[in-house]
Structure 1
Amino acid sequence: MEMRMPLKDYLGVIDNALKQVFDRKAVDPTKARRPLLRGIDRTMAQFKTGSSGTPTGWYRVKNGVVALTVKVASDTFEVNGEATNHLPADRFEEFLLSMRAAVEAGAFDKELADNGAGNAEVQIPKRAPGSISPEAAKLRGVKAAATRKANRENKNKAA
């Protein structure tokens, strides 16, 4: 014989605040990710050209530090609970690659469905102390070569 609980015992399950969730249009995660992925790709391309950012863009570089404000559909998308996050410029590309992988894996789907409200987190992989990224090493090499060339030219002019 099956025992059933009375209806009054189930009334605590009712949550009429769920009406907003019920009425909300279903979000296609793949489609919702596209603007964020395009923004990451655009930001990466701008950063690789040596741009220090634009006032209306995602980032600004100053004193070797990047101030990153992610925007999706002109709304600020909080990362790590903050509208603007700061990180070392020599780790920015790593961060963007890690963020891209997280977006593709669906780590931001809830925040995208909630229009950026939430506490999305992206971890930067740890490196050994004193080591630099391959991109930073390449940039140092290019700058060093330019300095050596300028020094040789100045030496030849003085002679």
Structure 2
Amino acid sequence: MRFHSDELTAVRRGHLVPEQLEDWVPSACAVVAEHLRHHGIAPTGYPFARWHPLPGGVIEAEAGFPVRAPIANTGEIEASSLPAGPVLAVWHTDPDEKLPLSYHAVQDWLETEEAVATGDSWEIYHDLPTCYRVGTRIEIVQPILFPTASPHRN
């Protein structure tokens, strides 16, 4: 558990079904990286992806990089941000097919510590993505809140 400061980002957005994320995220990060390079903007951190469930099984996904200052929106790249507040960060270093187990670990921790997820989580890719995959060192970040004092919390 840690505190995450508000972080400005440059992202590419898309409306997808969950099965498309695996291919979409690396290519979206590559497009954002090229945009930043072309405009002389250095990312301030690792690439990430975040998605928001929509009705009908569709998700609004955004993928990109944290940046120091707001960027101008273009047709393909938009300004966004990651929220400030307490977060639970869980590392995933197993093969990709085991990623759901790391999300289950987040849910188990929330239940054990009597915490509540306060927004959509995001994944930070500590292995720079290629146009084909996101790597194996993934940090899952979940914004949280403790609605009541929990005797289990350290």
Structure-2-length-normalised TM-score: 0.23
The structure whose RCO (Cα within 8 Å, separation 6+) is larger is 2
> Whose Rg is larger?
1
Which structure: greater helix fraction?
1
